[in-house]
Amino acid sequence: MAKIIEDVSRTFSEYLLLPRLTGKGHLSRNVSMQTPVARYNAGEQPRLTLNLPFVAASMQAVSGVEMSIALARMGCAAFIYCSQSIDQQAAMIRKVKAHKAGFVESDSNLKPDDTLADAVAISRQTGHSTMPVTHDGSNKGKLLGILTDKDFWEFEDDLSAPIAEFMTPRAQVVHGSVGLSLHEANLLLRKHKKECLPILDGEGYLHSLVFKKDYVDHRKNPNEILDSRKRLITAAGINTHDFQDRVPSLVDAGADIFAFDSSDGYSEFQKDAALWIREKYGDRVVLGGGNVVSGEGFRYLVESAGLDFVKVGIGGGSICITREQKGIGRGQASALMDVVAERNRYFEKTGWYVPVCSDGGLASDTQIILALAMGADFVMMGRYFAMTDESPTPRVSISGRMYKPYWGEGSNRARNWQRYSSGDEANLKFEEGIDGYVPITGSVKDTLWLTAEKLKSTMCNSGAPTLAEFRDNAVLTRISQQSFVEGGTSNVVRLDTESSIVD
Ligand code: MZP
């Protein structure tokens, strides 16, 4: 006979946090929102931490190159979607990696007999205005000079002239030598008032370039997360079907964090795929999985597949209709608390701490805060990020308001059969996601800033300067429908709604 869980399936809006003692030092500026994304042993440091506990979902309407760059610079991550070809996904990862680095391999190069027209064409294609000139036009050739857009006037000079007549010749190029640290390279840039420093080997062959703008960018984004080569950290969604081809391509492209994008991750498919990836790459990559909604699912993935983090949530996503289509899922708060309790037991028993990610259904800043208080180490969101300027979809005007399209990965539009088919069936037989629109909130930077400020403020109310203390200190109360209503405004006309404007 079926087993019935007595507890009702609950969601975040049914809870409130009680304040704990706020000490004098509990000020927003003292709060750290750092959080682990990789499992770690008690007493050790995690292999990777985020500086903000928010990640963008692996979805076509959410996580492209622009979102990935924006979030890595702010200290979190976007999972570039896997519902596209392996080459397209790898190209996106490469773009993020190339966006900013200490030592960049040049991808806009010229040879001396190229013309100004060639230089203009390359610059248009890559968007770069500084181009090394090497003997063979490659980024590893012998350096002969540097051409920048300041060296010629596109609409005045003869574009058929060879660039050799315009470039700064090698003898006058300030350069660094291979082996120089980034700090030393930046000192040279500053001393010589240059924008770009070519790094050469002992024979004068080009190794890489260092740019002043990257230094400035770094200072403006102190929370950004970089890899060992000073490139932005990147994350990618993967599936259990083509992982043997996809993961190696993405690793080559530079991806750092992977997560299985699956609506139901409690499966042998996910275990086998995770073991294959671990066998091949060991701890070189951070590998997350899910989604699960029970402690049992969590333990299976952690014990049998050795995942770094586990995502929780089935059917709660704003575009998700899995529950009504298949009758599978669980209230997100209940699912999260069950998994967190199991995670804590696992930690007590083994000494391994496995981060938990609450994925989907977060409809407000309050719910994000409650998810973190209930034990999530970080939260994954789709709708929240789809609404920002940086999501990869066009703006659309509907009845005078601006929207962006947002659709589920299980919708006909995404046709991401890997995510929703079980095992080997490749055809989408019914939809589990809808296709719609969401209003635009503005830049992701402003949007996340506000959420982070609210989170820090609540953490201070809870006497918790870190997220770990926030979940340890959290005392939550269930609320009745009446107290939910009481929490809104009552008998007061709000000035921020259109209906309150009276002529
Ligand atoms: P939300 O933040 O928009 O509420 O939910 C985003 C999450 O919904 C994703 O991270 C993913 O787990 C889930 N998702 C994505 N597509 C579908 C679908 O088509 C879905 N059903 O449920």
Residue 410: CB within 6 Å of ligand 1? yes
Q: Which atom of ligand 1 is nearest to the CA of 407?
A: 19
Residue 319: CB within 6 Å of ligand 1? yes
Report the sign of the C-alpha dihedral through residues 135, 138, 142, 145, in that order: positive
Q: For the segment 130-169, what is each residue's pLDDT rounded down to a tens digit?
A: 999 999 999 999 999 999 999 999 899 999 999 999 999 9
Supply the pLDDT for residue 131: 94
Supply the pLDDT for residue 53: 98
Interval between CA 465 and ligand 1 midpoint (Å): 31
Residue 383: CB within 6 Å of ligand 1? yes
Listed residue (251, 209, 225) closest to 68, CA to CA:
225
Q: For the segment 162-186, what is each residue's pLDDT rounded down to a tens digit?
A: 999 999 999 999 999 998 988 899 9
Residue 371: CB within 6 Å of ligand 1? no
Q: Which atom of ligand 1 is nearest to the CA of 385?
A: 2
Interval between CA 383 and ligand 1 midpoint (Å): 8
Q: Which atom of ligand 1 is nearest to the CA of 363?
A: 4
Residue 264: CB within 6 Å of ligand 1? no
- Residue 202, judged by CB atoms within 10 A of its CB (0-12, 13-18, 19+), counts as exposed
Supply the pLDDT for residue 352: 98
Q: Which atom of ligand 1 is nearest to the CA of 316?
A: 4
Residue 265: CB within 6 Å of ligand 1? no
CB 14 within 8 A of CB 285: no
Token pair belonging to 181: 């640290």
Residue 382: CB within 6 Å of ligand 1? yes
Interval between CA 408 and ligand 1 midpoint (Å): 6
Average pLDDT, the chain: 92
Q: Please name the amino acid found at residue 442.
A: G
Q: Which long-range contacts (CB under 8 A, 24 or more apart) does 165-168 make?
A: 166/116, 167/110, 167/112, 167/133
- Is the confidence at residue 423, as pLDDT, over 70? no
Q: Cα dist. 481→15, 484, 486, 488 in Å? A: 11, 5, 9, 12
Q: Which residue CA neighbors atom 7 of ligand 1 most closely? A: 360
Q: For the segment 465-483, what is each residue's pLDDT rounded down to a tens digit?
A: 999 999 999 999 999 888 7
Q: Which long-range contacts (CB under 8 A, 24 or more apart) does 482-488 make?
A: 483/16, 484/13, 487/16
Interval between CA 126 and ligand 1 midpoint (Å): 34
Residue 118: CB within 6 Å of ligand 1? no
State how far the Cα of 52 lies from the Cα of 372, in Å rounded to an integer: 12
* Partner residues linked to 169 by β-bridges: 145
Q: Which residue CA neighbors atom 10 of ligand 1 most closely? A: 57
Residue 408: CB within 6 Å of ligand 1? yes
Q: Cα dist. 98→69, 126, 191, 209, 231 in Å? A: 10, 11, 26, 12, 7
Interval between CA 97 and ligand 1 midpoint (Å): 26
Q: Which of 314, 359, 393, 428 to mutate for ligand 1's pocket (most ligand atoms within 8 Å of CB)?
A: 359
Residue 411: CB within 6 Å of ligand 1? yes
Q: Which atom of ligand 1 is nearest to the CA of 432?
A: 21
Place 431 in a pLDDT band, splitting at 50, 70 and 90.
confident
How large is the C-alpha radius of gyration of the chain? 26
Residue 360: CB within 6 Å of ligand 1? yes
Supply the pLDDT for residue 204: 95
Interval between CA 59 and ligand 1 midpoint (Å): 8
Interval between CA 317 and ligand 1 midpoint (Å): 4
Place 500 in a pLDDT band, splitting at 50, 70 and 90.
very low
Q: Cα dist. 302→305, 308, 309, 339 in Å? A: 6, 8, 8, 11
Supply the pLDDT for residue 42: 94
Q: For the segment 77-96, what is each residue's pLDDT rounded down to a tens digit?
A: 999 999 999 999 999 999 99
Q: Which of 54, 55, 319 to mutate for ligand 1's pocket (most ligand atoms within 8 Å of CB)?
A: 319
Interval between CA 14 and ligand 1 midpoint (Å): 21
Residues 123-156: b if buried by 16+ CB within 10 A, e if exposed: beeeebebbbbbeebebebbbbbbbbeebbeeee
Stretch 393-404: mean pLDDT, rounded?
94
Residue 380: CB within 6 Å of ligand 1? yes
Supply the pLDDT for residue 134: 95
- Is the confidence at residue 501, as pLDDT, over 50? no
Interval between CA 318 and ligand 1 midpoint (Å): 7
Place 502 in a pLDDT band, splitting at 50, 70 and 90.
very low
Q: For the segment 259-307, what is each residue's pLDDT rounded down to a tens digit?
A: 999 999 999 999 999 999 999 999 999 999 999 999 999 999 999 999 9
Q: For the segment 9-66, what is each residue's pLDDT rounded down to a tens digit?
A: 999 999 999 999 999 999 999 999 999 999 999 999 999 999 999 999 999 999 999 9
Residue spans of beta strands (DSSP E) within 346-451: 352-353, 356-359, 378-381, 396-398, 401-407, 435-439
| Positions marked catalytic | 320, 419
Stretch 444-469: mean pLDDT, rounded?
97
Stretch 200-216: mean pLDDT, rounded?
91
DSSP state, residue 421: S
Residue spans of beta strands (DSSP E) within 429-503: 435-439, 476-478
- Is the confidence at residue 127, as pLDDT, over 50? yes
